[in-house]
């Protein structure tokens, strides 16, 4: 698993991914606080929905654009617009202190192009990797991404409150640097359709393009299975977080039979998130090496089970030490199944439509936040036991989908061998 053995495109993308993720992670998680201080919580909630819809729209348009016009062309357009958006947000607020609505419009544009770039990023990794090294690529990518998120979160926690506009300018500079590196050194392996073919394909509507993807049952069910599992993790800072804050208003002992470490709900959530991040950063490459000999199917089933089981326990238990153990189990499952899942999904995607497929696959990350928000709404009507039951149903459905897909694939391979 040597970074320098990867295709140059992958080396560039992973390095740029680290710096752009670090920069955005220092700002994006704190935008809700930024806007709530200006317009209040309700308006901020509406803005959050608008940002999600903007990202979804950008992803769907960007997926088809990456297939028809090219990955590099799409990335350059998006990173240029992202850089301009952040630069305007930073300079305008430093000089004029523009209205919250103007800021919101700028971030709608920024998140639209961020969403549009996502499928092109994903497609160029698949284009430049092989079946043999793809899991290693995604393991390194996952490790770097979590390291960047952790570093960015710490940076934002110390700097964003006092210097938000300067940080916007900083992200703009990172985006422009990424644009320059991409322009000079990234090579677009994917060959877009010829001009003559484009005019012919104009008759094929945008909606029809995605309708064909929705008819790919194996891919869609696989995406749904991933969506349900990701939704469980998203609930850590929504439903599970709210539940723990309410349960632990007063500090309680972290470890049984001792009062050395006392924590309240907020501190416990912070510890659980820190535990997850630290374990991912420290163990990603180790776990990948230990599990290298196992098939992706086994890792997705076994890892998916541990992942789901951990969050199911987190949704129900109110014993701090049990919660810490559950997070450990969930994180080990995460490390086992996510790189394998990312490598496996690449095998389900046609070569000529990778951008569009990655756009649809990426929607699971947007919708997982919506599902997590629904659990918060349902918690006002349902008991914690019933919410845990729903968690169990979702986790079980995901594992059943994986198992059925793998069994049908093995059956198809067996039939092909007997008829060959």
Q: Percent of the chain scored above 70 by pLDDT?
A: 93
Residue 203 clears pLDDT 50, i.e. is over it: no
Residue 286 burial (C-beta neighbours within 10 Å; 0-12, 13-18, 19+): exposed
- Check: CB of residue 334 under 8 Å from CB of residue 308: no
User: What b/e string do you get for 38-53 counting C-beta neighbours within 10 Å, with b at 16 or more?
Assistant: ebeeeebeebbeebbe
**Which of 190-204, 249-263, 352-366 is predicted most confidently?**
352-366
Check: pTM over 0.95? Answer yes or no.
no
pLDDT on residue 140: 92
Residue 275 clears pLDDT 70, i.e. is over it: yes
pLDDT tens digits, residue range 399-410? 999 999 999 988
Residue 356 clears pLDDT 60, i.e. is over it: yes
d(CA 30, CA 154): 11
Domains within the chain, CATH numbers bracketed:
1-185+193-202 (1.20.1250.20), 205-420 (1.20.1250.20)
pLDDT on residue 195: 44
- Cα angle for residues 62, 348, 235 (degrees, 5° grid): 70
d(CA 317, CA 321): 10
pLDDT on residue 9: 95
pLDDT on residue 201: 52
pLDDT tens digits, residue range 53-74? 898 899 989 998 898 888 999 9
Which residue's entry shows tokens 């709404």? 377
Residue 204 clears pLDDT 60, i.e. is over it: no
Contacts 24+ apart (CB under 8 A), 257-264: 263/320
Candidates 35, 134, 29, 126; CA nearest to 350 is 126
- Check: CB of residue 173 under 8 Å from CB of residue 46: no
Mean pLDDT, the chain, as a whole number? Answer: 87
């Amino acid at each position: 698993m040597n970074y320098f053995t990867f295709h140059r495109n992958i080396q560039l993308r992973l390095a740029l991914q680290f710096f752009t993720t670090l920069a955005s992670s220092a700002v994006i998680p704190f935008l809700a606080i930024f806007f709530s201080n200006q317009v209040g919580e309700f308006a901020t909630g509406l803005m959050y929905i608008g940002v999600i819809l903007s990202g979804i729209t950008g992803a769907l348009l960007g997926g088809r654009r990456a297939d028809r016009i090219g990955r590099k062309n799409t990335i350059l357009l998006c990173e240029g617009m992202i850089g301009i958006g952040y630069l305007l947000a930073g300079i305008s607020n430093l000089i004029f202190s523009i209205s919250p609505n103007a800021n919101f419009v700028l971030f709608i544009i920024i998140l639209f192009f961020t969403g549009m770039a996502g499928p092109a990023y994903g497609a160029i990794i698949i284009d430049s990797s092989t079946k043999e090294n793809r899991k290693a690529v995604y393991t390194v990518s996952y490790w770097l991404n979590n390291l960047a998120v952790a570093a960015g979160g710490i940076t934002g926690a110390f700097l964003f409150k006092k210097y938000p506009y300067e940080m916007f300018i900083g992200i703009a500079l990172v985006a422009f640097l990424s644009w320059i590196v991409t322009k000079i050194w990234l090579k677009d392996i994917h060959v877009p359709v010829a001009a003559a073919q484009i005019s012919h394909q104009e008759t094929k509507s945008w909606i029809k393009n995605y309708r064909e993807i929705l008819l790919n049952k194996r891919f869609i069910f696989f995406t749904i299975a991933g969506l349900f599992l990701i939704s469980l993790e998203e609930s850590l800072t929504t439903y599970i977080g709210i539940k723990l804050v309410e349960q632990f208003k007063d500090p309680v002992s972290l470890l049984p039979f001792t009062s050395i470490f006392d924590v309240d709900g907020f501190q416990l959530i912070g510890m659980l998130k820190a535990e997850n991040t630290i374990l991912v950063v420290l163990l990603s490459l180790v776990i990948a090496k230990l599990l290298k000999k196992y098939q992706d199917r086994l890792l997705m089933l076994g890892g998916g089970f541990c992942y789901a089981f951990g969050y199911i326990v987190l949704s129900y238990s109110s014993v701090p030490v049990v919660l810490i153990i559950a997070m450990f189990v969930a994180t080990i499952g995460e490390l086992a199944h996510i790189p394998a899942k990312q490598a496996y999904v690449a095998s389900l995607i046609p070569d000529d439509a990778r951008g569009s497929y990655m756009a649809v696959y990426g929607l699971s990350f947007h919708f997982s936040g919506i599902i997590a928000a629904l659990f918060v709404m349902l918690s006002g009507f349902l008991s914690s036991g019933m919410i845990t039951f729903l968690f169990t149903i979702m986790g079980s459905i995901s594992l059943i989908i994986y198992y059925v897909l793998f069994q049908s694939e093995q059956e198809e391979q067996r039939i092909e061998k007997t008829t060959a």
